[in-house]
Structure 1
Amino acid sequence: MAPGVPRPTVGVEEEFLLVDPGEARPVPAAPHVLRLLAGTAGLQPELMRYQIEANTPVCTGLGELQDELTGLRGRLAGAAAALGCRLVATGVAPVRPADPITLSDSPRYHALAQRYPALTAVSGTCGCHVHVGVPDRDTGVAVLARLRPWLPLLLAVSANSPIENGRDSGWASRRYRNVSRWPTGRAPAVWRDAGRYDACVRRLIQRGAALDERSVYFLARLSPRYPTVEIRVADVCLDVGTAVLVAALIRALVATALAAGRHEPAPPVPRHRVEAALTAAARHGLTGAGVDPPTGAGVPHRRLLDRLLNHVEPALDALGDRALTEVLVRRLDTGGTGAQRQRAVWAAHGPAAYADLMAAATVAVPGDRRVDGEPPDPPAGRALSVGPHPRSGQGRKARPEAAVSGPGTVRAGG
């Protein structure tokens, strides 16, 4: 570890959909999946009964994080397959649920739905929330200020929700558009210290913009439960490799901010520029046009990613994460983002093969390139026949479509 560069811990929360293999329609099977996996640490229900959440333990390296993500996805996928459905990592449901509001059995979720019925109806989105440890809350607020200009790029890297209501929505991240409808679904402001942050949160709750501290949905916030900053901007990533990349970039940004110290002011970036950059990231994704928040200039997102990598290079070196991060970026360049891969599958096959192909990508194991060719057409009037995945337990086609090959995962050194 280089002097002056902290080594913060990292943990990830991932939210998934459970869908029917034939129509890719969400199915409210989460309570049954959780019963099958009773005793498995890190699993819990989400807002809707067709969603499920998996939380890694606190990790000190990317290798440990990758193993935890792979294991949790595999166990969930195996249980889903046993119930006749598929675990899919996508930010929004590709097909409208038969019943759009199938709330999990939680008093808090029912209170949310009662206060915000219209917003709850467009929820059920799935994100990737990355927690990174900070020494104290004042430092955490300073870290949020430094991460704020990079939030749009993190969204562009992770964008994985282009298909909604049975068609291409025209957005790389339709999830962002849905989340941003909530009164607090926005980038954080810049606060001088934790006291001012807490005062802002209290005002939002008092004004009815949030039910409680946990429902203040800033795209990056101080965790209400843990000694971490919680970066919530990312879509759930289609594969483990992209999730590890997003976590690596966020941890390096936090380490860079911690090394700068909380008394060195963050560069000022107007709110309207951050919002414009978030909209561009959600619309176009990593391969499209972006907005540079500090200047407001139009810059391709891929060029902004190079700037981020240059910015955090000392931290990546100090953390021992540089080699893995570079591999994962190359794989994203060659294999495509989640949004690109989803669009390719949907255009080629529609809902009939979508669930199986996306489920295969969701549980892709380290080194599994998944480029074995096109799946055969299913018999008329029947869903695709699905067999067990030999290592994860997830049902999938034996010959998945090449468009889902993507970044995959590699053995991390962390």
Structure 2
Amino acid sequence: MTLEAFAPSSPLTLGVELELQLLNTHDYDLTPYAADMLRLMRQHELPGTVVPEMTRSMIEISTGICQDADDVLAQLTPIRNALVASADKLNIAVAGGGTHPFQQWHEQRIYEKERFHQLSQLYGYLTKQFTIFGQHVHIGCPDADAALLMLHRMSRYIPHCIALSASSPFVQGQDTAFDSARLNSVFAFPLSGRAPCVLTWAEFTQYFNKMTATGVVQGMKDFYWDIRPKPEFGTIEIRVFDTPLSIERAAALAGYVQALAAWFLDTQPFTPTEDDYLVYTFNRFQACRFGLDAMYVDPATCEHLPLAEHILRTMDAIAPYARSACTLLRDSVTRRHNDACWLRERHADEPLLGEVTRQAALRFRGAALP
């Protein structure tokens, strides 16, 4: 298979995908209602799409092409409202969050789609353990070479994205001590992690051709990288975000990515090299484990500093490009409070994780909660 040509797109346009949990309203465990939800959602005219995901208790919503964070929110709002209305008809609920707090992976069932069953045959139990929930953000790039440059510049800020979005502290009924336990499941796949540090599309095409020649890779979908090019859209796709508990936070995270990308294009702040990845895995782990309380090693200077401090410095640098998108996130960083913290606070008040999940579903609906 040959690599697709990099399609033209408007620079800095956005697209957002959210993987969401379908819950019963008895104990708020996952429930296999994806097919029913898709049937009901087809009755709504929506700005984006709604599609199945790996297992039957998941659903994915996507926006169309958006101009900024406000546009993302404007598109997510009617999709969310239609989801809630459809869920009410089925007497189920919908929630964000990177993991379901107490579902058992072996109880999940693969959705009836050929690719999902092929992946199940290849990856075995890992496929059902992939009942995890992420937000993907696409950012439009001027051309293929610019996309690779943006991808590798963005890699320095992957810990920011993880800590700001972290919403998966619980797995199978236990507090994992991670703010984002979800990414541990992603890292189990053999083609996960980081993209190779090549900065031209010609070099990337050579790499892709070598990988397909091995028979390990059939197409770009086989790479589970933290950031990957999406040539058919003319974008790069950032894939490390946990699904937030609210669409407002999802839109703000997209706005943060857009502001970073605009800053890159306008100022060309640095040229990435392989050395940028010397501390990549360490910084990634820190953000997953400790969230906004993580430590960060600046790959340019080797300075060690609190991740929250580096995020605030970055927000100052990108402020001219951020519009209002970073207001919610800046407050979160200042208070060292992400969605993982919110879930733990609910659990401290209410030991039953089913009740924590019920409150997360209310938050997704837009209910005013602490």
DSSP-derived class of the 2:228 partner: strand
C-alpha spacing 1:135/1:122, structure 2 compared with 1 (3 Å):
same
Distance 1:126 1:113 in 2: 17
C-alpha distance after superposition, 1:300-338 (max 9, x if no partner): 22101112112323333xxxx1x3422442256459311
Q: Which residue of 1 aligns with 2:282?
A: 276
Which of 13, 18, 35 is the equivalent residue of 1:14?
18
Which of 150, 153, 167 is the equivalent residue of 1:146?
153
Structure-to-structure mapping, 1:235-314, within 5 angstroms: 235-260=242-267, 265-266=271-272, 269-314=275-320
* Structure 1 residue runs without a partner (length 5+): 1-5, 372-401, 403-414
TM-score, normalising length: structure 2: 0.89
Comparing 286-295 with 89-98, greater Cα deviation is found at: 286-295
- Alignment of 1:361 with 2:366, yes or no, is no
C-alpha spacing 1:331/1:150, structure 2 compared with 1 (3 Å):
closer
Distance 2:252 2:292 in 1: 14
TM-score, normalising length: structure 1: 0.80
C-alpha distance after superposition, 1:129-188 (max 9, x if no partner): 111111211110111111111111111111111111012111100111111111122122
- Alignment of 1:62 with 2:69, yes or no, is yes
Which of 26, 32, 49 is the equivalent residue of 2:30?
26
Distance 2:110 2:35 in 1: 11
Distance 2:96 2:338 in 1: 13
DSSP-derived class of the 1:24 partner: coil
Are the equivalent residues in 2 in contact too, given 1:155–1:282 (CA < 8 A)? Answer: yes
Distance 2:215 2:28 in 1: 36
Are the equivalent residues in 1 in contact too, given 2:102–2:171 (CA < 8 A)? Answer: yes
Are the equivalent residues in 2 in contact too, given 1:86–1:355 (CA < 8 A)? Answer: no
Distance 2:296 2:336 in 1: 20
Which of 172, 176, 198 is the equivalent residue of 2:205?
198
Q: Which residue of 2 aligns with 1:232?
A: 239
C-alpha spacing 1:141/1:82, structure 2 compared with 1 (3 Å):
same
Comparing 58-67 with 293-302, greater Cα deviation is found at: 293-302
Distance 1:133 1:111 in 2: 30
Are the equivalent residues in 1 in contact too, given 2:24–2:93 (CA < 8 A)? Answer: yes
Are the equivalent residues in 1 in contact too, given 2:156–2:280 (CA < 8 A)? Answer: yes
Distance 1:80 1:176 in 2: 28
Are the equivalent residues in 2 in contact too, given 1:69–1:240 (CA < 8 A)? Answer: yes
Shift of 1:297: 4.1
C-alpha distance after superposition, 1:235-284 (max 9, x if no partner): 1111122212211111111112222459x733653424011000000000
Are the equivalent residues in 1 in contact too, given 2:177–2:289 (CA < 8 A)? Answer: yes
Are the equivalent residues in 2 in contact too, given 1:161–1:175 (CA < 8 A)? Answer: yes
Q: Which residue of 2 aligns with 1:214?
A: 221
Q: Which residue of 1 aligns with 2:39?
A: 35
More helix by share: 2
Q: Which residue of 1 aligns with 2:184?
A: 177
Q: Which residue of 2 aligns with 1:378?
A: none
Shift of 1:75: 1.5
Q: Which residue of 2 aligns with 1:89?
A: 96
**CA RMSD of superposed structures (Å):** 2.3
Q: Which residue of 2 aligns with 1:388?
A: none
Are the equivalent residues in 2 in contact too, given 1:183–1:209 (CA < 8 A)? Answer: no
Distance 1:314 1:325 in 2: 11
Shift of 1:354: 1.9
Are the equivalent residues in 1 in contact too, given 2:12–2:67 (CA < 8 A)? Answer: yes
C-alpha distance after superposition, 1:181-225 (max 9, x if no partner): 111221223212112223333444454655532121111111153
C-alpha distance after superposition, 1:30-61 (max 9, x if no partner): 11111111154410101111110000010113
DSSP-derived class of the 1:79 partner: helix
Q: Which amino acid aligns with 1:85?
A: I
Shift of 1:119: 2.1
Identical amino acids, percent of aligned pairs: 25
Distance 2:223 2:11 in 1: 28
C-alpha spacing 1:167/1:31, structure 2 compared with 1 (3 Å):
same
Distance 1:198 1:210 in 2: 13
Q: Which residue of 2 aligns with 1:72?
A: 79
Shift of 1:99: 4.2
C-alpha spacing 1:201/1:172, structure 2 compared with 1 (3 Å):
farther
Distance 2:131 2:210 in 1: 26
Q: Which amino acid aligns with 1:64?
A: D
Are the equivalent residues in 2 in contact too, given 1:22–1:355 (CA < 8 A)? Answer: no
Structure-to-structure mapping, 1:112-127, within 5 angstroms: 112-127=119-134
